[in-house]
Amino acid sequence: MKDIDIEDLLRNSKPVVKDDPTFLLETRRRMRDVEGIKDEVDRQRGYGRTVLLITLIIGMVTGIMVAATLLLFPMDSVFAFIGEWKLYLALAAAIVVVVITIFGRDRSFLVLNKLLVFPHSKTTMEEYLTD
């Protein structure tokens, strides 16, 4: 049997799906059941975008400030300034936030949201589904 035969056979054997008017009705019913989850997912996605934008702005401002400091002050005074422990702490915190933002992706926003803003919010899809 040649290739063209099996191809013709396949093209002419497309199965017929029985028309089922209840299919879309049932689909709509299931969609309404998960409407709350969809709203929450959309809200979290919007929140994630906002946090990403804020992180970007903070990064740019910090960069500009560091550049300005290096240009305006002699290096000796800059080293003396960052020698203070509080600045080290702030730098460490900034690095942690950047690392979590980069590697944690969307999940990190949910966790940060839970830790810092809404302690009772959910961080996994399983929590939404089992709620």
Partner 1 sequence: MTEERFIDLVRVEQEPLRRFLLVLCDGDSALADDIAQNALVRAYVASGSFRSLSKFRTWLFRIAYNCYIDNRRRRSLVTVPIDDDEARNLRAEDSTDSSFRYQKLHQALERLPEKEKVAIILFYFENHSVKEISSILDIPAGTVKYHLSSGRNRLKKIVADERY
For position 42 contacting partner 1 by CB under 8 A, the verdict is: yes
- Window contacting partner 1 (CB under 8 A); options: 41-49, 60-68, 90-98, 110-118: 41-49
130 binds partner 1, rule: CB under 8 A? no
Whole-number minimum distance, CB 105 to partner 1, in Å?
Answer: 13
3-state secondary structure 21-79: CHHHHHHHHHHHHCHHHHHHHHHHHHHHHHHHHHHHHHHHHHHHHHHHHHHHCCHHHHH
Written as one letter, the residue type at 111 is: V
Determine the 3-state secondary structure of 13 from DSSP: coil
Question: For residues 29 and 64, which CB has a smaller minimum distance to partner 1 in the complex?
Answer: 29
Confirm or reject binding of residue 126 to partner 1 (CB under 8 A).
no
Q: Taking the complex as a whole, how short is the minimal distance between the CB of residue 125 and partner 1, in angstroms?
A: 9
Structure tokens, 19: 């028309």
Question: CA 5 → CA 9, 11, 14, 16, 94, distances in Å?
Answer: 6, 10, 15, 21, 66
Question: Least Å distance between CB 58 and partner 1?
Answer: 26
Interface with partner 1 (CB under 8 A): 1, 3, 5-7, 9-11, 13-18, 20, 23-24, 26-28, 30-31, 33-34, 37-38, 41-42, 45
